[in-house]
Amino acid sequence: MRVLLQRVRQSSVLVDGAVKGAIAQGYLLLVGAEDSDTSEQVDYLVHKITKLRVFEDEAGKMNQSIEDVDGSILSVSQFTLYANTKKGNRPSFVAAGDPAHAEKIYNEFNEKLAATGRHVETGVFGADMRVALINAGPVTIWFDTDDK
């Protein structure tokens, strides 16, 4: 699995002009899955993301987790995280998971994030989405379970 995390002041996702998910302070997560991903990768990422200390404490140090600041999560599926750009100018997406498997993993990921007590909003899997955000920092962190 791959997740691109962005710490945000606010974020939203629109599908067909309608808001499908919106949050204030928290994380925008762009989420991609491949066919070999399992519940083990989901559990690993849920733990890493909810315990990650990238929110500032009273001293201005990144020392608080999303739990500490009672932040929310907007999770958006994004198969293009598996783009291969090694050859030519048109990316290949053959490493991205089969849509049925990727959707199952994405849904499991969101359910397990919500089970930690975080408020989780989502986009619509496979839809053409418009994502808006106000990045805080900016803080952008890459997770790849192949590199854990």
**Residues 125-148: tens digit of each pLDDT:** 999 999 999 999 999 999 999 998
Locate the domains of the chain by residue range: 2-147
**DSSP 3-state assignment of 92?**
strand
Of these residues, 50, 78, 122, 145, which one is catalytic?
A: 78
Architecture of domain 2-147: 3-Layer(bba) Sandwich (3.50)
Q: Which two tokens stand for residue 109?
A: 């990921």
Q: Which of 138, 33, 44 is closest to 75 using CA atoms?
A: 33
Read off the pTM. 0.95
Give the count of beta carbons closer than 10 Å to the beta carbon of residue 58: 7
Q: What is the pLDDT of residues 75-111, one digit of tens each?
A: 999 999 999 999 999 999 989 989 999 999 999 999 9
pLDDT digit string, tens, across residues 29-75: 999 999 999 999 999 999 999 999 999 999 999 999 999 999 999 99
Task: Give catalytic status of residue 79 as yes or no.
Answer: yes
Annotated active-site residue in 38, 80, 93, 140: 80
| Per annotation, catalytic residue among 55, 79, 109, 143 | 79
- Start-to-end Cα distance in the chain: 11
| Residue type for position 76 | V
**Strand bridging mode 53-56 / 119-122:** unpaired
Contact call for residues 27 and 65 (beta carbons, < 8 A): no
